[in-house]
């Protein structure tokens, strides 16, 4: 069944819902759990569309994401699960699918919040929808309202 579960976790309400769903599945299937948090490559915009890589900003943001990830791992540990985690840097869907292939995941769990307006849906797009299209395995989308 689902022996290796990868949870894309960002600490948001939808991410926390996904964590709860993932926890239930892992207990049922006796699965290995891996959490990943994906952050974009930070660039300071200098003007005229030119970006400059800022290593200080990158390390600060990476430390903040590591704290979020550690919180998710601690929540799983409190429920009796052992999990590992890693902060990834890059485009969200690409990084999640690459990591899923790397660990031979059977299931990816991701949170999703319904957006109220058509403009918000159009502007933001849907990571979960794109992930389903590119995933090397099954995807569970935990929905919050």
What percentage of residues in the chain have a pLDDT greater than 90? 41
CB 31 within 8 A of CB 2: yes
pLDDT of residue 35 exceeding 90: yes
Tokens, residue 63: 């430390």
Give burial (CB, 10 Å; 0-12/13-18/19+) of 95: buried
Region 63-89: what's the mean pLDDT? 92
Counting the structural domains of the chain, the total is 1
How do residues 106-143 score in pLDDT, each as one tens digit? 999 998 776 555 544 444 557 888 899 999 999 988 88
Whole-model pTM: value is 0.82
Tokens, residue 19: 């964590």
Nearest-Å Rg of the Cα atoms of the chain is: 16
Q: Residue 34 belongs to what domain range?
A: 4-144
How do residues 43-53 score in pLDDT, each as one tens digit? 555 555 555 66
pLDDT value, residue 121 = 47
Region 92-100: what's the mean pLDDT? 96
CATH of the domain at 119: 3.40.50.620
Helix (H) and strand (E) counts in the chain = 5, 7
Tokens, residue 68: 């979020």
């Amino acid at each position: 069944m689902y022996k290796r579960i990868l949870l894309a976790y960002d600490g948001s309400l939808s991410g926390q819902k996904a964590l709860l769903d993932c926890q239930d599945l892992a207990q049922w299937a006796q699965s290995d759990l891996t959490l990943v948090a994906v952050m974009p490559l930070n660039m300071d915009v200098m003007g005229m569309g030119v970006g400059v890589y800022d290593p200080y900003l990158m390390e600060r943001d990476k430390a903040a994401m590591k704290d979020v990830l550690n919180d998710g791992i601690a929540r799983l540990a409190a429920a009796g699960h052992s999990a590992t985690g890693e902060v990834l840097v890059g485009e969200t869907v690409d990084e999640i699918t690459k990591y899923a292939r790397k660990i031979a995941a059977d299931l990816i769990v991701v949170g999703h919040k319904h957006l109220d307006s058509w403009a918000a849906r159009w502007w933001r797009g849907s990571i979960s929808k794109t992930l389903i299209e590119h995933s090397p395995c099954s995807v569970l989308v935990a929905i919050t309202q």
